[in-house]
Amino acid sequence: MHITIASRFQLDRWTFEESATFAQTADDRLTVDLAACSFVDIYAMVALLTIMTFAVDNGYEVMIHLPTDRGVANYLARMRFVELVPRGVLFNPSPPEVQEHESALVPLTRVDAVRGGEHAIEQLANFAYNRLTGWVAGPFTEALAEIGANVIHHSEAEVGFVAAQRYRKKKTLLFVVGDGGIGIRESLARGVLTAQGLSDSEALELAVRPGVTGKPGLHSGVGLSTVLELAENMSIRSGYGLLTKGWGDVKAKPVPGLSGTIVCAEVRER
């Protein structure tokens, strides 16, 4: 199988689903072509890292073509994307040196689920809490921390990734948590009888209900539902399902299957 992920202009949470193509070949290869990209957001970066990590672990040959736009290439380096690309991935051209990180973002951070990734989750939560005010700060931060903890306790993935960024002009914060684990449907099916036999899209609709969790007693089951309530925009991609919230409308649909779960939430600064 040869998988190609490419975008002509931008690769972000809105365009990512249209970027992948699949071709039957004698060898297993993954090509990530960002050469023409003029914009890559943190959702795309987390998604690419989880996919590349899964591909390398499963014996794929992986090649990534970095953006020819020097500013975009430097942004990927500043976000630690290049630093976290798994060993064995071939670069074209060679990646730029890592630049200084900005205070207006949490650069991509690896969550080592085997050794405990609490520091990365705490860093993400602190970024949220310090930039939100009023009644939103506490509930959103706690819910975000629970979503991050899912990587360690629910996903069964060895690693995950988190990132956050502040967009000054829009006055919004964007948070992304991703892993290459078993996915929400499988996690719920082990602890919620009503989740057994559901599709990935149906499992996502169940997962965002308050109190629903794959491990009762360990988590409260309010992480996804609280963030969904408070976020301006949100997406949850897991397995063959994608749930989105935009302009107050929440809907789920089937998508091409990818291992793991990626949660992306945009919240307005208050």
Q: What is the pLDDT of residues 205-219, one digit of tens each?
A: 999 988 776 555 455
pTM of the model: 0.90
Which residues fall within 8 angstroms of residue 99, CB to CB, at 6 or more apart?
Answer: 74, 77, 78
∠ CA 252-200-111, rounded to 5° = 100
267, two tokens: 């919240």
Q: Parse the chain into domains and list their residue ranges.
A: 1-93, 103-270
14, two tokens: 């809105």
pLDDT digits over 107-121, tens only?
899 998 777 678 899
Task: Tell how far CA 267 is from the center of its chain.
Answer: 16
Decide: helix, strand or coil at residue 70: helix
E strands, the chain, where?
A: 2-6, 10-11, 20-23, 29-33, 39-40, 61-65, 90-92, 105-112, 159-167, 172-179, 233-246, 249-268
Do 54 and 76 meet the contact criterion of CB atoms below 8 Å apart?
Answer: no
| 9-30 b/e (C-beta count within 10 Å ≥ 16 → b) | ebbbbeebeebbeeeeeeeebb
Q: Is 138 exposed, middle or buried (0-12, 13-18, 19+ CB in 10 A)?
A: exposed
Domain 1-93 has CATH 3.10.20.580: no
Do 241 and 258 meet the contact criterion of CB atoms below 8 Å apart?
Answer: no
pLDDT digits over 85-102, tens only?
999 999 998 888 765 655
Angstrom distance (rounded) from CA 236 to CA 228: 10
Domain range 103-270, its CATH number among 3.30.1360.120, 2.40.70.10, 3.30.56.10, 3.30.565.10: 3.30.565.10
Give the pLDDT mean for 144-148. 92
Letter for the amino acid at 187? S
The whole-number pLDDT of residue 247 equals: 78
pLDDT digits over 33-85, tens only?
999 999 999 999 999 999 999 899 989 999 999 999 999 999 998 899 999 99
